[in-house]
Structures are given as C-alpha cells and as structure tokens.
Structure 1
Amino acid sequence: MNKLPLAKRVQILSMLCEGSSMRSISRVVDVSINTVSKLLEDAGRACAAFHDDAVRNVQAKRVQVDEIWSFCYAKQANVADAKKAPEGAGDVWTWTAIEADTKLIISYLIGGRDAEYANAFIGDLKERVANRIQLTSDGHRAYLDAVEEAFGADVDYAQLVKIYGDVPDAHKGRYSPSDCIGALKVPVQGGPNRKHISTSFAERQNLTMRMQMRRFTRLTNAFSKKFENHAHMVALYTVWYNFVKLHKKHRMSPAMAAGVSDRLWSMEDVAALVEAAEPKPEKRGPYRRKAQQNDEGAA
C-alpha cells in the first residue's frame, strides 16, 4: 500500500490549519486533491475522538460561549434552487466554549442554531468541567433553557446582550452589522461577577477560526462543499489550537495552561495521532491464505 511520507502529511495538516485551501495545498505539496481530502477525513475523525477523550474533568473558572456562522454548499436562501444540494447544505453554525483564563476550547458543536443544538452543546460542556463555573453567553434565548437543564443551580450564569443601532441604507444586505451602541449585563443564575460578564474571548476565538480555516472565510469560493469535511476541519483545528498553537500570553499551549497536557505538541504528534487511529491492513495473498488454513487446522 502506498503511504504518503511523514513530511508531506505534516505539511498538509499544517497548511490546513494555516488557512490554505485544499486545492492550493494539492498544488504546493504536489499531491492530488483526493489525497488532501482523505487525509483531512482521517485527521478529523482521529482528532474528534481524541478531543472527546482528552478534554474532560477540566478545572475551569470563567467560560464564554458563542456561535459562529458559515455555510455549506450554498447559503440557506439558495439551497432550494441549488442543483444536487447534499444533505447538510445551507447555514452551518459552530458553537464553541472557551475558558477565559487558559483559552482552552472545552467544547464545540457543528450544526443548527436552535434549542436542540443549544441543549446538546451546553450538556456536553457540563460533562467536561469539573467544578462550578461562571458562564457567559450572548443574548440567544436558546441558552436560557439549555443552561437550566444542564447545570440547574450549579452555575453562575449571565448574558451579555448587545444593543445595535439602525443599519444605514448603504450597508443593508452586507455582512457587517450596524454599530454596537451598548451592552447589557444580565445576571440569570447564581451570583456571576459583573466584572467578568464578557464574551470578548469567545468572539476573538471566532476571528481566529475565520483566519485559520479557509472554509470560514467570507466572500470567497472556499466555503465547504460537504458538511462532513466542514466538521472534520473544525475537529482538526480544535486539536491544533488546544495542543499545538503556542499562546503568546501564556508562552504555552492552552492545553498545557489548563493542565490537560504536560508538553507542547507538534504537527508530527497530530500526524502520529492520525496514523494510530488508522485500521491495521489485513494480510494479503498466500500469507493470508496460510493464516486461514492454520486457523482452520487449529479448530
């Protein structure tokens, strides 16, 4: 079986996490687009499983949650007229929960922006933290019931509700919203410290995601064509951000700052993670037949 050299696998994974498109990677690394796609799929599955196992029992203090918009195949308004639109086409929201002190991405979820996804996202967050936290979200109403169902009274929860002015006629229909003219700090549950009612770190994380993942970039043709690949890229990015990226403030990775990891990872570690998750190849030819004959004789 042909296997891509480690150096090329590391190069592809690094470029995926540095905002390069899949086709530009295929040209620079001199591999087919199918090779890049296959490595992304394998890396996405391995990284999702690793995050699910490793990022648990987190000692967190202040957690901020937010959602970032993107789309798959076509924007939601154009899905009905799109030719052969696959399942999952349209708006895609990525929910993220970040610890304000360590900058660790504790939980993430890709899907819709309704109450069902809010419940699943906050429920997953609750399972990953080891202590009572102060939680801050934006004014999305779906959070209210989701936090109550997951945490009950065991949380200090507040919402930061932003107030926007009127959208000028010249800016209507564009991505940029109107100017934020104020924000209300609304305590919801427990006793949140008003000084720390903020979503600034979560919103800055949204910017990092748009810069580091090409498929999140607006006004380009780099958007995801398959929902599955979108999810694979987010999983790879999350492990890269938590374990590989050196945070400038801490001079270590978020996973090290949070006590989840005892060392700074490299992309070679991510490549090894992907390789370890690959199924072992079966024996072929006469060796396989001989093994089968031995098994039959032993029986």
Structure 2
Amino acid sequence: MPPTNRRPRTVDTSMHFCPHLGCDYCGWPGLNNLRANGHPSGGPWRQLHCTACDGYFPEHHGTIFHGKQAAVELIVHVLACLAEGLGIRATARVFEVDPNTVLHWLVEAAEQLKAFSAYFLCNVHVNQLQLDELYAVLRGVINGEISEDNAIKRLERSRHWVWTVIDPESKLLLATEIGPRTLAMAQRVVHQVVQVLAPGCVPLCLTDGLKEYGTALLRHFGSWSQPERRQATGPRPKPRWMPLPQLLYAQGVKSYRRRRLVRVKHRVVFGTIDRVTQVLSACGWQINTAFVERLNLDLRQRVAAVSRRANTLCKGEDSLGQHLVLFQSYHNFCLPHASIRLPLAAPESTKGSGSAKRWQPCTPAMAAGLTDHVWTLKEVLLYRVPPWPQPAGV
C-alpha cells in the first residue's frame, strides 16, 4: 500500500527489484517495496532501499556499469561505435582506451543484452518469416589455415556461417546463430525461432534453395498422422509425421552463371501456391528473400567482423557472437527504420526554420508491439532483467 505519511515518492522504482536472495520480493519489480535513499558519498548513482528486507543496493546493480570506474557516457559511446560497425582497435584509438578494455566491455554487454533480448522477444505474433545465411571469414583464413585460392571452394564446408531470421513486415530480427550449413544447424535455428513465437503461431516461411530448411521446418511444425487403410485385410499402415495443415513454406531458388544471377525459380514445398500468394498479396509482395538479404547488408555494414575486404576479422565464433548480440538489440530497439515509420496525426513544428515533422520514428520492436518508444543504448544497458520469466514491461 502507498505510504500515507511524509512526502510522496517522486523517484520511479517500478523497473527495479530487490537483489537480496533472502527477501520475499527478490526479483519482482513494481511491487512498491523500494524507495530512493539519496546518493552515497555524493556519487552519481542513487541508492535504493528495500522496505521488505531492509536492504540497500545501488540502482545500477546488475548492469555492466556496476563496479566500473569509467564514465557511463564513455562506455555507452564505445559500445555505440561497435554497434555502428567500427572495429575494436579503431574504437580504442578514437576514445584513447586499451583494446582489451573495449573487448571486456563488449563481452559484458553481450551477456546482458542476450538476457535483455530473451526477456522481450517472447510470444511474438508474425505472419511471415524469411531465413537466410551469409558466410563469415574469420581470422583462421588470414593465419594460413585456409589459403586464399582455396577459400571460396571451402566456404560450403566452412564452420563460420551467420544464420538470420527476420519478420519482413516489422523488420524484427528474431534469431542469429553461427554454425555450418548443416541440417543440425538449420534445426537449431528453427528451434530458436519456435521458442520466440507465440503458441500456435505458424507463419509463412521463405528461404533460398537450401534443402535443410524443409526438414527442420517439418520437424518443428508437424504432427503424427494415421493414413487410411487401402485394403480390407493386412496390417494397418504405420503413422507418418506430416506437416501441419497451416504450414506454408516456399523457396526462391536462384541460378547463377559466371557469378551473375540469371534466373529465380519459385517453389512451394508445403502448402499451395494459392495460399502462399494470398498471404503475400496482403502486403503486395511476391515470393522473395529480399528483406533478409537487405538485413545481411546491414550486418556487413554494422558488424565489422563480417564486413567484406576488412582487417577487423574476429579470431573465433565467441567474439563474432558477441558482436551479433549487440547488433540484434541495437537493430530491434534503438535503430528506427524509415520503411516502418508512422505518420503523425498533425505536423509538428521544429526548432528553427526547418520543415514540420510529419513522421514518428519507429523501431522493429515498436512495429512488433514489444515496446512503445525508441530506446537509447544507455537505456537498454541500464535495464535490469528479472532473474526469472515475468510479463515483460514496456
């Protein structure tokens, strides 16, 4: 119950929770058990007091800023440069810090952002999905493990491929994985997408001609079916694993000649062409993977480790995965997209002699209904994720 004595509380503590394990309110935000207790020793961070267990903790507890002597703005600017495509060593030179420090901040931020994305990306309703993969040449190629002449020939067997899954309507990046182009990896990617989708959601899936996608989708969006008897006598037919009636899956198979695209053949694997066309016609589209390929271009521009003809390659999959986690959170929550912007009800005047503001910026998370505003990178890094699944707040 709200207190009736003293002055009312003015500091919003609804997004914080008590971290003490012995507290009955541990891990539960928004229960009105916290109050501000000033700034200890005049520091920049506010101290919070839990009225349930009478414990104290700083407001940045559980974030990458806890225990850091560096300025908050410096850490945010360093991670923002990494999210915009600058390499680790280049970022270290710009801000005059040690490269190992930048790498350490990236590792800690990736761990926190991974939990942040998992907390918000749940029960997502989508109508379409586009899946694709792009190769990433890591440091092993330059060190001589793979020669330059043999690099292109071994790309199909390379362990370093970046798998991406995007919702073409909201531009929401649902999953990123690193691994070879194998059936096991395709199943892992589809399984991660199924964990994000809402129960019972079976979207239209569009991919390239990689056949492993069909098997992975069938195993996750299928059920046992008992075939009918064709003869009056004899053994009953065995049950078969069949795709769900609402599953729609189409491929855009591309044919190249001398490294030039000469033909694109559309093929419907599950469902009918009429049903696939009906889903796509609502947006005025045809069978294609253009949106996920455009995302791959953003990946190469904003993740220095996978950019073409660059000397910022990662030394292993772990480092590349940390860059991808940072890119996913930055892309979904912090980066407005012009294709999904919303028109304002009335133009708003701006400062100076500039033209009136007619559009409201919108991020993929806003278009998907996961949040209601454009997050800043500092706001994302300061968000304390509860230790167990709870209804995500906006």
Which of the five TM-score ranges fits, normalised by the shorter chain? 0.7 to 0.9
| 2:221 aligned residue (148, 151, 160) | 151
> Is 1:221 the equivalent of 2:311?
yes
Superposed, 1:69-84 pairs within 5 Å as 69-75=135-141, 78-79=144-145
2:373 corresponding residue in structure 1: 263
TM-score (norm 2): 0.62
Bigger helix share: 1
Q: Is the Cα contact below 8 Å between 1:63 and 1:97 reproduced in 2?
A: yes
Q: Relative to structure 1, is the Cα distance of residues 140 and 253 closer, same or farther in structure 2, using a 3 angstrom cutoff?
A: same
| CA deviation map 1:216-260 (0-9, x unaligned) | 112221111132111011001000000000111222000000001
1:67 corresponding residue in structure 2: 133
Q: Is the Cα contact below 8 Å between 1:6 and 1:271 reproduced in 2?
A: no
2:300 corresponding residue in structure 1: 210
Structure number with the bigger relative contact order (C-alpha 8 A, sep ≥ 6) is 1
1:92 corresponding residue in structure 2: 160
Shift of 1:80: 7.0
| 2:382 aligned residue (263, 268, 272) | 272
| 1:189 aligned residue (263, 270, 279) | 270
Q: Relative to structure 1, is the Cα distance of residues 220 and 80 closer, same or farther in structure 2, using a 3 angstrom cutoff?
A: closer
Shift of 1:91: 4.0
2:103 corresponding residue in structure 1: 37
The separation in 2 between residues aligned to 1:185 and 1:109, in whole angstroms, is 26
| 1:112 aligned residue (180, 186, 193) | 180
Q: Is the Cα contact below 8 Å between 1:64 and 1:100 reproduced in 2?
A: yes
| 1:6 aligned residue (65, 72, 90) | 72
The separation in 1 between residues aligned to 2:261 and 2:74, in whole angstroms, is 45
The separation in 1 between residues aligned to 2:256 and 2:109, in whole angstroms, is 40
The separation in 2 between residues aligned to 1:104 and 1:148, in whole angstroms, is 23
The separation in 1 between residues aligned to 2:205 and 2:314, in whole angstroms, is 31
Q: Is the Cα contact below 8 Å between 2:202 and 2:221 reproduced in 1?
A: no
| 1:21 aligned residue (81, 84, 87) | 87
Q: Is the Cα contact below 8 Å between 1:76 and 1:91 reproduced in 2?
A: no
| CA deviation map 1:66-109 (0-9, x unaligned) | 0011022213994379xxxxxxxx64111111101100011221
Secondary structure, aligned partner of 1:57: coil
1:163 corresponding residue in structure 2: 255
Secondary structure, aligned partner of 2:175: strand
Shift of 1:2: 4.7
Runs of 4+ deviating beyond 3 Å: none
Q: Relative to structure 1, is the Cα distance of residues 77 and 117 closer, same or farther in structure 2, using a 3 angstrom cutoff?
A: farther
My pick for the range that moved more, 150-159 or 72-81, is: 72-81
Cα RMSD of the aligned pairs, angstroms, is 2.0
The separation in 1 between residues aligned to 2:211 and 2:130, in whole angstroms, is 16
The aligned amino acid for 1:193 is V
* Structure 1 alignment gaps of length 5 or more: 82-89, 168-177, 278-299
The separation in 2 between residues aligned to 1:40 and 1:193, in whole angstroms, is 42
Q: Percent identity?
A: 28
The aligned amino acid for 1:127 is Q
* Structure 2 alignment gaps of length 5 or more: 1-66, 148-157, 223-243, 278-284, 342-361, 386-394
Count residues with an aligned counterpart: 257
The separation in 2 between residues aligned to 1:29 and 1:77, in whole angstroms, is 29
